[in-house]
Amino acid sequence: MTKKVAVPHDPRQLEAAFAQFNAVSGQLIDAYSQLEAQVHVLNAQLEAANSQLRSKMEENAALAERLSRLLSALPAGVVEMDAVGCVRHENPAAARMLGRSTLGLCWQQVETLLEATELTDTYLVPGDEDGPARRVSLQYQDLPEQGGRIVLMHDVTRLHQLSGELANQQRLAAMGSMAASLAHQLRTPLATAMLYTANLRNPGLAEAERSRFIDKSLARLKALEGLIQNMLSFVRGHVSELEGLDAAGLAEEVRAIMAPLCQARDVALDCQVGVDSAITVSGDRKALSGALLNLLENALFFTPSGGQVGLGVRQTGGQVMFEVTDTGPGLSAEVKARMFEPFFTTRSGGTGLGLAIVKKVAEELAGTVSCENRPEGGARFVLSLPAATAGPTGAREKA
């Protein structure tokens, strides 16, 4: 049943009702106007925010595009891995250096394409029908926030080639210098041998004199042979076949050879071996013992009667150190700077090849040789070589 609303008949009541209605309507209109104004402001703010967001997105897109172009144009290779080590992104240079795309591969799979070289963090990528082998250096950078990793690659093939060419040029220059020095070294003993030999043609020469001239000629010829052998050893290199050598045993071998020579010169020979027979070095026995003998003979030459020559062996980290000391006059700055140069010598009658051969042997065995003056007087030479350990099958492996 519809409820009927009572309509006032009093004009004053109608006037009051209309006044109240007009007041409420005005309030609604004002509220609506305010709401409309707020909506307008919010729309303007939203439009401004959207405009800024669009501008930022466009800037980011432009930056991403620029970075993408830069990565594509970079001569260096860039590979990005995720947290589990799978390749997510790579630039064209990386694919070109590795000879294939690595997208989606785990980095362990990529590493199977690489062969280790003599240089740390430098690897050989074998060649194929599409191109020759390449040498690449790798640098790793962790991405802690993303949990991934970036690999930066450089193609060092040309650098390696240039290094080889430079080494060849240096060898040729050294050989030219050595040839000139060798001619000078050969001239005196050869002339002396020829003089002694010429005297043998004298028919009136006594038998004793003849024997003396023959002995002197042979001595000069043997000196020539020794000089030529040293020269050949230096040019060709010593290392022919590597084996695991007991460092302590090697020291004892050269000590036994030097002991009578030191005794004849009234020079004490002190041998201090600080390693056991388990410590080995990888090398050529003849070459390494020859290098140690060269160091000891040099020390003996400069040690006066009553002095002492020392031979020590110790291990420092992954290196075996053969140390030779003397109580001689020590080394001047000039001599120290040129000590290991071929044909440089301060010894009368010396060839200048002994210490140069020591340096060559050290380099061929991935070692070093150095010299210094001792605080107590005399000189110290240190031949440092990588230590080796016996593998499970008895083979020798570098430590």
- Please give the average per-residue pLDDT across 378-398, as a whole number: 67
Residue 335 CA to residue 347 CA, distance in Å, equals 12
| C-alpha span between 102 and 95 (Å, rounded) | 7
How far apart are alpha carbons 358 and 353 in whole angstroms? Answer: 9
Report pLDDT for 393: 34
Percent of the chain with pLDDT over 70: 88
C-beta separation of 44 from 52 below 8 A: no
On whether the CB atoms of residues 362 and 319 are closer than 8 A, the answer is no
Structure-token match 């140690």, residue found: 292
Among 41-45, 190-194, 266-270, the range of highest mean pLDDT: 266-270
For residues 388 and 392, give the distance between their C-alpha atoms in angstroms, rounded to a whole number: 13
Among 51-60, 152-161, 305-314, top mean pLDDT goes to 305-314
- DSSP per-residue letters across 229-297: HHHHHHHH-S--S-EEEEHHHHHHHHHHHHHHHHHHTT-EEEEEE-S-TT-EEEE-HHHHHHHHHHHHH
Q: Who wins on pLDDT, 229 or 58?
A: 58
Give DSSP secondary structure letters for 88-112.
EEE-HHHHHHHTS--TT-BHHHHHT
Mean pLDDT (the chain) is: 83
* Contact by Cβ (8 Å): 388, 282: yes
Residue 324's nearest CA partner among 356, 299, 360 is: 299
Q: Tell me the mean pLDDT in the region 230-256.
A: 77
Dihedral angle over CA of 338, 340, 342, 344, nearest 10: 40
- List phi, psi (to 5°) of 164: -65, -40
Q: Where does the pLDDT of residue 185 fall: very low under 50, low under 70, confident under 90, or very high at 90 and above? A: low
Q: Pick the residue with more confidence: 17 or 153?
A: 153
In tens, the pLDDT along 200-233 reads: 888 888 888 888 888 888 888 887 777 777 666 6
Residue 238 has pLDDT above 60, yes or no: no
pLDDT at 1: 54
The yes-or-no verdict on residue 16 having pLDDT over 90 is no
Give the strand pairing for 308-316 and 268-273.
Answer: parallel
Instruction: Report, as an integer, the average pLDDT of 139-145.
Output: 88
Average pLDDT for 264-268: 93
**CA proximity to 289, closest of 261, 254, 247:** 254
Look at residues 15, 21, 151 and name the one whose alpha carbon lies nearest to residue 79: 151
Consecutive H or E run containing 307: none
pLDDT(276) > 50: yes
pLDDT tens-place string over residues 106-116? 988 888 888 88
CA nearest to 268, candidates 299, 232, 228: 299
In angstroms, the first-to-last Cα distance of the chain is 106
Residue 391 has pLDDT above 50, yes or no: no
Q: What is the pLDDT of residue 186?
A: 72
Give all domains of the chain, ordered by start, each with its CATH number: 73-155 (3.30.450.20), 173-236 (1.10.287.130), 241-398 (3.30.565.10)
103-132: average pLDDT: 84
Predicted pLDDT of residue 18: 78
Q: Which residues contact 35 (CB under 8 A, 6 or more apart)?
A: none
3-state secondary structure of 75: coil
pLDDT computed for residue 237 by the predictor = 57
Average pLDDT over every residue of 187-198: 80
Q: In this model, does residue 325 exceed pLDDT 70?
A: yes
Judged against a pLDDT cut of 50, whether residue 243 lies above it is answered with yes
Prediction pTM value? 0.48
pLDDT at 399: 42
**Cα→Cα distances 253→245, 250, 310, Å:** 12, 5, 14
Q: List phi, psi (to 5°) of 49.
A: -65, -45
Predicted pLDDT of residue 372: 94
pLDDT, tens digit (0-9, with 9 covering 90-100), for 330-377: 988 888 888 888 777 777 656 677 788 889 888 888 899 999 999 999
Taking Cα atoms as reference points, which of 324, 319, 322 lies closest to residue 366?
319
